[in-house]
Amino acid sequence: MKPILASLFRGVFALFLIVSVAACATRPPESDPEALAAYEEANDPYEPFNRAMWKVNSALDTVILQPITWVYRTIVPDPFRQAVTNIYTNAKMPLVIINSLLQGEPGRAGIATKRFLANTVLGIGGIADPATAFGIDHVDEDFGQTLAVWGVGDGPYLVLPIIGPTNPRDTVGFIGDTLSEPVGLGLDIADKKWAKRGWTAGGVIEARDRNWGVIKELMKADDPYAFARSAFRQRRKYEISNGKTEQSQEEEDLFEQDFGDFPQ
């Protein structure tokens, strides 16, 4: 447990270090109320830094991740790729159960437990998804949502290397979820370093594959950065409130999957 906590604190420290040295956008003067209101609504004081990181992540995606995923999509048939997605989705369900309980939602924890048991036992480790056929709803909770339910504010918008669009609260949540992800944690405990790296790399490729069309549509926007910023916030509000917040159909379609699943 101590190594996990140490890694968590190192990650949080790195976040604040990045924020502290990031270039800040100029706050409009009080004499321009419209510009000031837009600035505060965007809540993006580190926009120059964020846009620079957006370009870096986009370049990495174009040069590395997109070609690798294209090969994966080309040589692996759809049913097998869906099975991979099912496996990774099912592997996260213990975290969904825990976070549901931490948020005081035993009903959602029960649904997640049913899905996990059905897909693990009848779906052969999550390869298949009989839970959906049985009419068991899909639920998705993460530690960032748990922190929000506990009253932790989201803070300013951030685009971090590899992680992509996020904020301080969700960055801490991402670190916590990453360190406690069951399969990765088990491989760490077993000291299977290469297996852990393979599992992590596979998850990145699976997420990029799952969001292939989403990213393609995103990049068609006049300002993909601004659109992603708005949609990310709206999607997180939607997830935290369990679907009780308003969101445009375009934003809902774009963020049907977690934006933090892939770099941008």
158-215 residue pLDDT tens: 999 988 999 999 999 999 999 999 999 999 999 999 999 999 999 999 999 999 999 9
Can you tell me the distance from the alpha carbon of 133 to that of 139, in angstroms, rounded to the nearest whole number?
A: 15
Can you tell me the distance from the alpha carbon of 75 to that of 162, in angstroms, rounded to the nearest whole number?
A: 25
- Indicate the residue type of 119: N
Q: How confident is the model at residue 244 (pLDDT cuts 50, 70, 90)?
A: confident
**Would you say the C-alpha torsion 137, 143, 149, 150 has a positive or negative sign?**
positive
Q: Are 125 and 83 in contact (CB under 8 A)?
A: no
Task: Give the mean model confidence (pLDDT) for residues 16-42.
Answer: 58
Q: So what's the pLDDT on residue 18? A: 57
Using DSSP bridges, classify how beta strands 158-160 and 164-166 pair: parallel, antiparallel or unpaired. Answer: antiparallel
80-104 confidence digits (pLDDT tens): 999 999 999 999 999 999 999 999 9
> CB neighbours (10 Å) of residue 240?
20
Q: Whole-prediction pTM value?
A: 0.82
Among candidates 133, 89, 128, which has minimal Cα distance to 112? Answer: 89
Among candidates 80, 95, 57, which has minimal Cα distance to 184? Answer: 95
- Cα distances (Å, whole numbers) of residue 250 to 61, 125, 262: 23, 34, 19
